[in-house]
Structure 1
Amino acid sequence: MKDDLRRLKRPILYLMAPAYVVAGVLHFVVPELYVQIIPPIFPAALALVYLSGLAEIGVGIGLLIPRTQRYAAWATVALLVAIFPANVYMATHGVVIEGLPGGGDPSAAVRWGRLPLQAVLILLALWYTRPPAGTDPR
């Protein structure tokens, strides 16, 4: 089973990294969608949307470069922790997202489902923080 998982590591990376880049680009294409899920306690919501978009693009690219992959994986963990309050806010406040294609009211299942998904994404990112088997961890 361990070998089966190891075989999946590269294909998952090639799905995960571009997904972060696309998500990051969307922060610049439709920032108003993301601004709506930033908890009101945080100042400068639009700046935070752009900053998190840049971070997502950066980690996505960094994950694809062997030399930066481990650092980018740790940065991905940090990013996912940093954006977690937005997902909690979205789940607990029934945020209706104005301008969302297909309607602006994500179901409760979608809003709450993002929270455990965040944990899965963190675990995946942590998987890439480990050096490849048989290499010097420095």
Structure 2
Amino acid sequence: MAPLITLLAVTLLLRTAGAAGIRGLRSWHTSLRGGLAAMFVLTGVAHFNDMRGDLIAMVPPALPYPELLVTVTGVLELLGAAGLLHRRTAPWAAGGLALLMVAMFPANVYAALSGLMVNGAPATALLPRTLMQLVFIAAAIAVVLPYTRTLTHRRLASTRTVPRARKPHSLHQ
């Protein structure tokens, strides 16, 4: 639940700051990027603090090297959070994080169905966890979409050709 609260609270805080006059935060898109970045810092750091053991236990038994997987996913989350803060890297970071969330979802399913303890409490039940995961993925996709529209418009503009002036047709060729 803490990642969802972080995403919502930081996004709203940044958007409020934008409404109060901070020019760089005037758009929901920028505020959402900040909220996602804060959420991924929170979850990424958890891969290296006292929650690490719980996260390792969440890795389904079929996957090899759970400690390495937790380390790699934690590093990717932190790198993705940093990437969200820069306009040029934000769409790549958000797209990568969306894919990472899809790839990591089986660990959440395993934790919910196995009755694991996470951070001293039972793992979030499958339905609420699935709904939260969909919110997180939707937020990441919402960051990507404006960039894909811009790229599509640029590509369309560059493929349009200016009609060439036609040579006058001459009867004497």
Bucket of the pairwise TM-score, normalised by the shorter protein: 0.7 to 0.9
Amino acid at match of 2:122: D
Question: What's the CA shift for 1:7?
Answer: 4.1
Matched, 1:19 2:39: yes
Rounded Cα–Cα distance in structure 2 between residues aligned with 1:134 and 1:84: 28
Query: Are 2:76 and 1:55 aligned?
Result: yes
Aligned to 1:124: 139
**Aligned-pair identity (%):** 33
Match of 1:3 in 2: none
- In the TM superposition, 1:5-16 aligns within 5 A as 7-16=27-36
- Matches of 1:133 and 1:94, distance apart in 2: 40
1:131 shift after superposition = 3.0
Q: TM-score, normalised by structure 1?
A: 0.80
Distance 1:76 1:133, change over 3 A: closer
Q: 1:92 to 1:132 in 2, by over 3 A?
A: same
Q: Give the alignment's Cα RMSD to 1 decimal.
A: 2.2
Contact 2:91/2:147 (<8 A) preserved? no
Q: Which moved more, 1:110-119 or 1:56-65?
A: 110-119
Q: Give the superposition deviation at 1:116.
A: 1.4
CA distance in 1, matches of 2:80, 2:96: 7
2:122 is aligned to 105
Q: Which runs of 4+ in 1 moved over 4 A?
A: 132-138
Q: Which amino acid aligns with 1:77?
A: A
Larger radius of gyration: 2
Report the alpha carbon displacement of residue 132 of structure 1 after superposing the two structures with TM: 5.1
Relative to the length of structure 2, the TM-score reads 0.65
Partners of 1:34 and 1:49 within 8 A in 2 = yes
